[in-house]
C-alpha cells in the first residue's frame, strides 16, 4: 500500500490498540461520551425530532439498536436519530478551528454496532477515539478558510470519515478494508452553508453519521473504493472542496499527538461561536448582580465571521433564538441562566424581553477580534461601564469543563429520577471496566 495520507491514516486506525491511547486521552473520551448522552437527552425537546424519528423508523424494520432516551430502531435508524438528538438543541461539542461538531457523527454509529455485537467498554472507547481523531485530523487538513470560502459545512463533509474509522475498530477492518471505508465515506461527503438558519444544517450531522455507518459496513464486505480519497487530483476531498488543503496535517505526529483533545464542549444550548460572549456576560452578571432594571446597555463585540452569522439573526423561532446573539445575551440577563426554558415561545415572544433586546443590546463586528474571542461592555444605570474581554469560552480546551460540570449538564438535561441519572454517570465513569456495552445502552434507552 502506498504511503499516501489516506493509506497512512488507514494503517494507523487498523493497527491502533486500546493501550496505545494515553490514559488522559481515554478519560477525555469518557467526557465526550457523557456529554453526548447529555446533549441527546436534551435533544429530546428539539422541535424537529419527531420528523427525524419518522424518517429513522422508515430505514428498517429491525430493532437491534437503542435510542438515547427510549426505544429501539434498526442500526441505520438509531444511528440517524441518535445523531440528530445529540445536535438537536445546539448543545453538543465543537472543534472550533474547523467549526465541526464531531461527536454526533462518531458516537451514534459506534454505539449502534457496539450494542449489536455486545463489545466491552474498552473496545467502545477505542472505536470512539479512532473516530474522533480521524475526523479532527481530516477536518484540519481541509485548510478551513479555503474550504469555508466554498460554502462547505464540516460535519457533512468530514463526518462520514469519523464514523467509518469508529466502525473500522468495531468490525476489525484490516488496512485495505479501512482504506475502502474512507473512500466510501468521502464519496458521501456533502453539506453546505446554504442551509444556515434552518434545521437542515443539523441534518448534516445525522446524515454524516449514517454515511459513516454505511461506509464501514460496506467496506467489511470488501467493497472497493478510491485508495486516495483525500488528495486524488481528480475529485479528492482536498482538491475538490478546498485549495488542495494541508494533507500533511492529517498524519503529522500520528499516534503521538492526539488532536481530539482540541474538541470543545458547550455549557449552554446556544450557538457555539457566541459562547465566549455568553461566558463573559454571565461572569459580569454574577459578579455585579446585574439585572435588566440596572442595565442601560449591553455592547457585544464579535469577530466579523461570528458577527455575520449571529450578530443580526432574528429570534422569531426557537432555532433562530438559539443562534441569535442579541436574544441570547438579553435572555441571559433577564433569567440569569441559559437552558432550554429560555428558548420557549413564551420567552422569545415576551414583549418586555423583545423590547429590551431591540433597544439595549448592541452587537457589532470588532476588527481586532479573531475566531470566537469576544468583548462585553455593560453600561449600568449610574453611567459606569463594566467590561469583560476573553479569547475563549467556558468549555474550550483552554478553559475545559470538568467531569463534574459535564455530570451536572446531564442532570439538567435528563429530567430523570436521580437514581437513573446517577447510574448513567457511574457506567460512563467506569466504562473501561464494562464487560458488555449493553449495560450502558440499557441505561440510556430507559432514560
Rounded-to-integer distance, Cα 429 and Cα 447, Å: 17
**How large a percentage of the chain has pLDDT more than 70?**
99
Taking all residues of the chain, what is their mean pLDDT, rounded to a whole number? 96
Confidence of residue 416 (pLDDT cuts 50, 70, 90): confident
The reported pLDDT for the residue numbered 1 is 52
Tell me what pLDDT residue 227 has. Answer: 94
Say if residue 280's pLDDT is above 80: yes
Over the stretch 297-322, which tens digit does the pLDDT of each residue have?
999 999 999 999 999 999 999 999 99
**Of 31, 257, 7, which Cα lies nearest the Cα of 140?**
257
pLDDT band for position 2 (cuts 50, 70, 90): low
**Residue pLDDT, tens place only, 365-388:** 999 999 999 999 999 999 999 999
The average pLDDT across 190-216 equals 96
Q: Are 203 and 104 in contact (CB under 8 A)?
A: no
Q: What pLDDT, on the 0 to 100 scale, is given for residue 231?
A: 97
pLDDT tens digits, 183-202: 999 999 999 999 998 999 99
Predicted local distance difference test score (pLDDT) of residue 447:
63
Q: What is the C-alpha to C-alpha distance for residues 396 and 398, in angstroms, rounded to an integer?
A: 5
Residues 224-237, mean pLDDT to the nearest whole number: 97
pLDDT, one tens digit per residue, over 120-171 is 999 999 999 999 999 999 999 999 999 999 999 999 999 999 999 999 999 9
Q: How confident is the model at residue 197, as a pLDDT? A: 87
Q: What does the pLDDT read at residue 446?
A: 79
Of the candidates 210, 209, 110, the one whose C-alpha atom is nearest the C-alpha of residue 169 is 110
How large is the average pLDDT for residues 211-231?
Answer: 97
Please state the pTM of the whole predicted model. Answer: 0.95
Beta carbons within 10 angstroms of residue 200's beta carbon: 16
Task: Map grid coordinates 474550550 to a residue.
Answer: 396
Domains in the chain (CATH in brackets) are 5-267+401-445 (1.10.4100.10), 272-390 (3.30.1330.120)
And the C-alpha cell for 275? Answer: 459562547
Of the candidates 212, 203, 227, which has an alpha carbon nearest to the alpha carbon of residue 167? 212
Percent pLDDT > 90 in the chain is: 97
**Secondary structure in 3-state letters for 269-318:** CCCHHHHHHHHHHHHHHHHHCCCHHHEEEEEEEECHHHHHHHCCCCCCCH
- Asked if pLDDT for residue 96 goes beyond 90, the answer is yes
Bridge partners of 374, per DSSP, are 302, 390
Amino acid at each position: 500500500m502506498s504511503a499516501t495520507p489516506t493509506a497512512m491514516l488507514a494503517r494507523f486506525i487498523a493497527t491502533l490498540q486500546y493501550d496505545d491511547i494515553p490514559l488522559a486521552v481515554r478519560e477525555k473520551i469518557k467526557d465526550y461520551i457523557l456529554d453526548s448522552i447529555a446533549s441527546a437527552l436534551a435533544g429530546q425537546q428539539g422541535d424537529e425530532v419527531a420528523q427525524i424519528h419518522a424518517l429513522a423508523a422508515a430505514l428498517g424494520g429491525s430493532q437491534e439498536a437503542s435510542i438515547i432516551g427510549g426505544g429501539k430502531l434498526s442500526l441505520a435508524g438509531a444511528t440517524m436519530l441518535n445523531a440528530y438528538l445529540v445536535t438537536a438543541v445546539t448543545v453538543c461539542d465543537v472543534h472550533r478551528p474547523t467549526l465541526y461538531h464531531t461527536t454526533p457523527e462518531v458516537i451514534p454509529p459506534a454505539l449502534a454496532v457496539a450494542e449489536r455485537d455486545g463489545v466491552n467498554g474498552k473496545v467502545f472507547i477505542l472505536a470512539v477515539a479512532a473516530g474522533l481523531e480521524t475526523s479532527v485530523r481530516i477536518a484540519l487538513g481541509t485548510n478551513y478558510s479555503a474550504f469555508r470560502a466554498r460554502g462547505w459545512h464540516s460535519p457533512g463533509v468530514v463526518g462520514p470519515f469519523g464514523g467509518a474509522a469508529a466502525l473500522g475498530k468495531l468490525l476489525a477492518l484490516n488496512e485495505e478494508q479501512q482504506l475502502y471505508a474512507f473512500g466510501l465515506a468521502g464519496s458521501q461527503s456533502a453539506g453546505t452553508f446554504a442551509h444556515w438558519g434552518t434545521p437542515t444544517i443539523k441534518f448534516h450531522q445525522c446524515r454524516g453519521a449514517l454515511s459513516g455507518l454505511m461506509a464501514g459496513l460496506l467496506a467489511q464486505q470488501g467493497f472497493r473504493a478510491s485508495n486516495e480519497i483525500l488528495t486524488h487530483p481528480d475529485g479528492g476531498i482536498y482538491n475538490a472542496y478546498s485549495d488542495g488543503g494541508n494533507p500533511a496535517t492529517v498524519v503529522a505526529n500520528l499516534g503521538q499527538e492526539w488532536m481530539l483533545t482540541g474538541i470543545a464542549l458547550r455549557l449552554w444550548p446556544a450557538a457555539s461561536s457566541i459562547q465566549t460572549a455568553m461566558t463573559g456576560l454571565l461572569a459580569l452578571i454574577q459578579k455585579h448582580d446585574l439585572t435588566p432594571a440596572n442595565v442601560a446597555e449591553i455592547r457585544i463585540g464579535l469577530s466579523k465571521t461570528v458577527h455575520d452569522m449571529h450578530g443580526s439573526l432574528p429570534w422569531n423561532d426557537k432555532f433562530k433564538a438559539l443562534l441569535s446573539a442579541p436574544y441570547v445575551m438579553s435572555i441571559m440577563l433577564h433569567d440569569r441562566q441559559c437552558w432550554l426554558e429560555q428558548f420557549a415561545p413564551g420567552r422569545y415572544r415576551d414583549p418586555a424581553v423583545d423590547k429590551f433586546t431591540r433597544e439595549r443590546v448592541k452587537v457589532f463586528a470588532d476588527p481586532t477580534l479573531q475566531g470566537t474571542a469576544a468583548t462585553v461592555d455593560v453600561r449600568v444605570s449610574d453611567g459606569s461601564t463594566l467590561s469583560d474581554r476573553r479569547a475563549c469560552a467556558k468549555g474550550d480546551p483552554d478553559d475545559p469543563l470538568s467531569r463534574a460540570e459535564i455530570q451536572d449538564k446531564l442532570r439538567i438535561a435528563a429530567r430523570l429520577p436521580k437514581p437513573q441519572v446517577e447510574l448513567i454517570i457511574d457506567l460512563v465513569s467506569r466504562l473501561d471496566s464494562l464487560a458488555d456495552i449493553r449495560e450502558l445502552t440499557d441505561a440510556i434507552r430507559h432514560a
